[in-house]
Amino acid sequence: MVGYKDHASYKAYLNNGERPDERLLPPLATNSAGSVILNPGELYCRFRYGEDGICSESHQFSSESALRNHYKNVHQIVPEERRSGRLDRSTQNDMIRWYSALGANIQHSWVPRKAKVRGHSPEPQPLPSLLSLQGAQAPAPIFGPQAAPAENGEGPGGAPLGRGRRPRRRLTRAQRRRRREQLQPAEGPRSSEDPVKNEDPEDLM
């Protein structure tokens, strides 16, 4: 089983030691006891001052315990008690989905980690407005098909990028011809005397 810390989404979240764009980070959720729920692997503070500010500590904390102490000492909030032991497979998979959604700029308010004390389940939270802190431009995803390529403006395997920053599929000659036929208006069969228009040079070779 691949642990969530070995998954590409978590490595993207680490972001070379700098907190990801604040607009990608969902607001903190609390359980019914009022304790803040922190997810396994979190190393960046996402405490917000209303909707127009976030904690200035943007560096990566050295450990989950260091981040918990930061919340206690700086923001005077109490994190939920952490469970001991290894995470089961279901929780590992939930964490992969959570970090994948975070990095891909997908709105979510669900909390994958259950409270240690039964009955202290998270109360309903409104969907976070990931665009509430921005102007006209959306935050750039750091994981998933919409994430910017690492180099040369190319997708996997060097394929050119199309709309939405996804790799553009290369069409065969027959596929290009069929696409043109589908786009042409229905005017009946073309005679051999009709002029040829908009032919692809590759098809004439």
Mean pLDDT computed over 160-164: 46
| CA distances for 102 relative to 24, 59, 106, 164, angstroms | 6, 18, 6, 18
pLDDT of 126 over the 70 cut:
no
- The CA distance from 125 to 109, in Å, is 6
pLDDT band (50, 70, 90) for residue 46: very high
pLDDT of 195 over the 70 cut:
no
Residue 42 placed within a domain? yes
Q: What are phi and psi of 79, to 5 degrees?
A: -70, 155
Mean pLDDT computed over 102-128: 54
Domain residues for 66? Answer: 4-103
Residue 69 placed within a domain? yes
Residue 120 placed within a domain? no
Give the per-residue pLDDT at 32. Answer: 84
Residue 134 placed within a domain? no
Higher pLDDT, 15 or 136: 15
- The CA distance from 16 to 143, in Å, is 14
Number of domains in the chain: 1
How many other CB atoms sit within 10 Å of the CB of residue 80?
Answer: 23
Residue 33 placed within a domain? yes
Higher pLDDT, 174 or 6: 6
- The CA distance from 12 to 25, in Å, is 13
Give the per-residue pLDDT at 58. Answer: 92
Residue 34 placed within a domain? yes
pLDDT of 35 over the 80 cut:
yes
Mean pLDDT computed over 5-26: 89
- The CA distance from 194 to 101, in Å, is 54
- pTM of structure: 0.57
Print burial letters for 66-76: b (CB count within 10 Å at least 16), e (below 16).
ebbebbeeeee
Residue 47 placed within a domain? yes
Share of the chain above pLDDT 90, in %: 23
Q: How many residues does the chain have?
A: 205
- The CA distance from 8 to 12, in Å, is 6
Tokens of 159: 């394929």
